């Protein structure tokens, strides 16, 4: 499994543009889905380009995404891609597999500082989490299928990312190549403007629009959850996680620093850590109890009242206030 801090990858293609010569003998001319070619997209598997990548990042705030950077013409990766597709399809929409051909979209690999392929990430609420470098051995693939992928889905649910990925089908384009675009999740018509703003990365605007919907219908549970998610992403969705954590360690008595670390914990699916950090901080800093309460109430909307951690945290913060 990948070390999140490691930037060394399986040889195949260098992002500086120099192709590993050993990859040439593995190159096939067949298009994905054709005889002798890579497995085609379809089901819960999509192919992503630089033009559609941002949409995938945005939808990872609704359902988790596995992101595979590979070369679709290299036959060394075909079995791996098929095994991943099968594992994702068995989750029945709980997660999506998005594949990026680094030769067609090198800018995505460059943005992620990828030095070689294949490499596998998870995307939860826009946050990339390194999972695996290179082609896994059979026992490692079994672990990915049986343990890692279900754990990603569980972590996403804990962070309030519990939507269902759309099932797509691959269609032959005009040039005979397989195409598959991210499909829009079904949303209530009155939510469309807010959802569009979130898809565009305007989380603050989305939060304002969801707030307007809540003023019109305070019982709109979906708008309440999505507003809380938009507020969280507007504050910390693009934060430098390492810098935030370092600031939290350097300033243990600073309210803003601790709230910021809790935010990145939530975005990363570490819900229990976020709750514990804020409750521990509030217990030692009575003047911050109200600020912590407000932030926790936002997190509670993301997780849902049925989450036992919400019930525990609600009791704990109430005891501090009264």
Last residue of a domain, one of 179, 206, 221: 179
Q: Assess whether 286 and 307 both reside in one domain.
A: yes
Dihedral of CA 131/135/136/138: which sign?
positive
Is 98 in contact with 68 (CB distance < 8 Å)? yes
Pick the residue with more confidence: 176 or 257? 257
Q: Average pLDDT for residues 139-167, to the nearest whole number?
A: 90
pLDDT at residue number 31: 65
What number of other Cβ atoms are within 10 A of residue 188's Cβ?
A: 12
Q: Assess whether 194 and 293 both reside in one domain.
A: yes
Q: Assess whether 171 and 222 both reside in one domain.
A: no
For the entire predicted model, the pTM comes to 0.53
CATH number, residue 62: 3.40.30.10
The dihedral formed by the CA atoms of 67, 231, 166 and 89, expressed in degrees to the nearest 10: 40
Q: Assess whether 140 and 25 both reside in one domain.
A: yes
Q: Average pLDDT for residues 197-205, to the nearest whole number?
A: 83
CATH number, residue 207: 1.25.40
Residue 98 has pLDDT above 70, yes or no: yes
Q: How far apart are CA 299 and CA 211, in angstroms?
A: 16
Q: What is the full DSSP assignment across 24-59?
A: GGGB--SPTTSTTSPPPPBBTEEEE-TTTHHHHHHH
Length of the chain equals 322
Does residue 97 sit in helix, strand or coil? strand
Residue 146 has pLDDT above 80, yes or no: yes
pLDDT at residue number 51: 82
Residue-range definition of the domain harbouring residue 142: 21-179
Which pLDDT band holds residue 123 (cuts at 50, 70, 90)?
very high
Residue 217 has pLDDT above 70, yes or no: yes
Q: Assess whether 194 and 120 both reside in one domain.
A: no
Q: How far apart are CA 4 and CA 52, in angstroms?
A: 25
Last residue of a domain, one of 179, 202, 227: 179
Question: Which among 6, 22, 3 has a CA at the least distance from the CA of 14?
Answer: 22
Q: Assess whether 169 and 34 both reside in one domain.
A: yes
């Amino acid at each position: 499994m990948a070390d999140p801090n490691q930037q060394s990858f399986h040889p195949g293609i260098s992002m500086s543009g120099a192709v590993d010569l050993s990859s040439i003998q593995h190159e096939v001319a067949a298009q994905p889905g054709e005889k002798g070619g890579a497995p085609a997209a379809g089901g819960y598997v999509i192919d992503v380009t630089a033009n559609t990548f941002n949409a995938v990042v945005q939808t990872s705030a609704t359902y988790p995404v596995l992101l595979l950077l590979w070369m679709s013409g290299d036959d060394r990766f075909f079995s791996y891609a098929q095994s991943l597709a099968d594992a994702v399809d068995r989750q029945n929409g709980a997660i999506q597999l998005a594949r990026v051909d680094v030769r067609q979209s090198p800018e995505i690999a460059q943005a992620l500082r990828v030095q070689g392929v294949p490499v596998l990430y998870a995307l939860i609420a826009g946050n990339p989490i390194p999972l695996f470098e290179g082609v896994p051995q059979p026992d490692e693939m079994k672990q990915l299928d049986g343990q890692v992928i279900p754990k990603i889905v569980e972590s996403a649910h804990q962070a309030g990312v519990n939507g269902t990925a759309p099932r797509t089908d691959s269609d032959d384009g005009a040039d005979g190549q397989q195409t598959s675009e991210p499909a829009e999740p079904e949303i209530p018509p009155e939510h469309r403007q807010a959802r569009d703003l979130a898809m565009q990365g305007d989380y603050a605007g989305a939060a304002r629009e969801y707030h307007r919907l809540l003023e019109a219908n305070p019982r709109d549970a979906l708008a309440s959850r999505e507003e809380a998610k938009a507020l969280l992403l507007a504050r910390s969705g693009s934060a430098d996680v390492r810098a935030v954590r370092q600031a939290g360690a350097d300033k243990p008595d600073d309210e803003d620093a601790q709230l910021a670390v809790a935010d990145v914990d939530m975005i990363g699916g570490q819900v229990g850590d976020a709750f514990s950090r804020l409750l521990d901080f509030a217990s030692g800093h009575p003047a911050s109890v109200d600020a912590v309460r407000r932030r926790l109430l936002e997190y509670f909307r993301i997780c849902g009242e049925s989450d036992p951690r919400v019930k525990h945290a609600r009791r704990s913060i109430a005891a501090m206030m009264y």
